[in-house]
A and B are shown apart, each in its own frame.
Chain A
Amino acid sequence: MPSVASKQYPDDVSLLVLLLDTNPFFWSTTSITFSQFLSHVLAFLNAVLGLNQLNQVVVIATGYSSCEYIYDSSLTSNHGSFERDRTGMPPLFASLLNKLEDFVTKDEELSREEGNEDRTPSCLLSGSLSMALCYIQRVFRSGHLHPQPRILCLQGSPDGPEQYVAVMNSIFSAQRLMVPIDSCYIGVQNSAFLQQASYITGGVHHTPKQLDGLFQYLTTIFATDLHSRGFVQLPKPIGVDFRASCFCHKKTIDMGYICSVCLSIFCEHHKKCSTCGSVFGQSKLDESSSVSDKKKKASQT
């Protein structure tokens, strides 16, 4: 799989697309509050914009029942001005916070509309990842001179196994576009989606141990532009979780049955494939093992 270091970057101007987890079901369970978390993130975004005048930041909120663009630094013309409004906030982030507040209220309303039963407290990573890639694709279309894009997922919610196919599709598209997906996971379980995303696209995956030092983790690891990554020792992955989701119950599994026609994954033996309609014969475990025996015999002779 291609690594970041193997590519040639002409400059160190970055476009950072930040996918911000705003899932209310996650933020009601954490040790730090959402506003504490936001203050770390805003300081980090400021740092990224300060590193290079041409750097660009786009923030997409990843909610529980919707996703939305909430900030694009290329649209705010008063990039350098330090005028503060009544709240004492730089105008740059005032618009971000306003939009974010609107989004979170709307998202909460939407999630209340849905039934309460059988709720996985996951956020819509597949949606925000798809939007980020569309945005980056537009930047690539704009001509030869564009910042080097990368995606950073800042997430704490657990994976939503029902998003498996969509998330994997996004990861492969990012890989083809050579856009690395960095991920910073602040939740309790580990995230197989984010680990695979970073591993496949050559991004960095990290799980900070102490959330009150989040700003430091963000600046030391995720502020590094792609050009500089060749010279910096970034954290190496502590293994990659390659578990998949079954198509029948949307469960995360590490062992399962694969349809030989369409490669759908199932957690238990079925008589018929629900995806392609093939009817399966008897379990041919004996046959496949006898084949491997034959192979072994052949290789010995």
Chain B
Amino acid sequence: MQRMSRAVACVAIALSLSAGIAYAIEDGAGDPTAVKSEDGKWQDKNGNPTFKIGDDGKVDWYTYVGFIRYSANCLQCHGPDGLGSTYAPSLVDSLKHIDYTTFYATVAGGKQNVSAAQNLVMPAEGANKNVMCYIDAIYVYLRARADGAVGRGRPAKHDDKPEAYTKAENECMG
């Protein structure tokens, strides 16, 4: 049921897209268009973290950090560039369907599907600072991947590190 209503929402968003965005959007959190920035950290109209890609392909700082932190903490299971592996599902696909809250709850709390044939275990990362201090950045990166706004591999160009980022990182990592 939930899936259904999200899909409907996606269609609605796709229809209301401004002409400026060329890619077709399937996004579990709705329209990803960045409307507001707090020191280089972008939000969509619903207040969810989102990406901002310049005309020259330059990505915002958080999308870039998300790529690095995804590669450091998630790649070993979810595969390069969020594309999935024999071990864990594609997050590029997942983020077409799940919203920010579900994403956050899954990463913090974990998820399991263990049976005789399957042993899928998403570890609870809630206590892992290497993940939780960068959770929004990872989300933003994967959201951009799911929406087709960022391709495979390392983003070639990115915005400079905002001062607010360094402060928040130091506070969080302790």
B is a partner of A: no
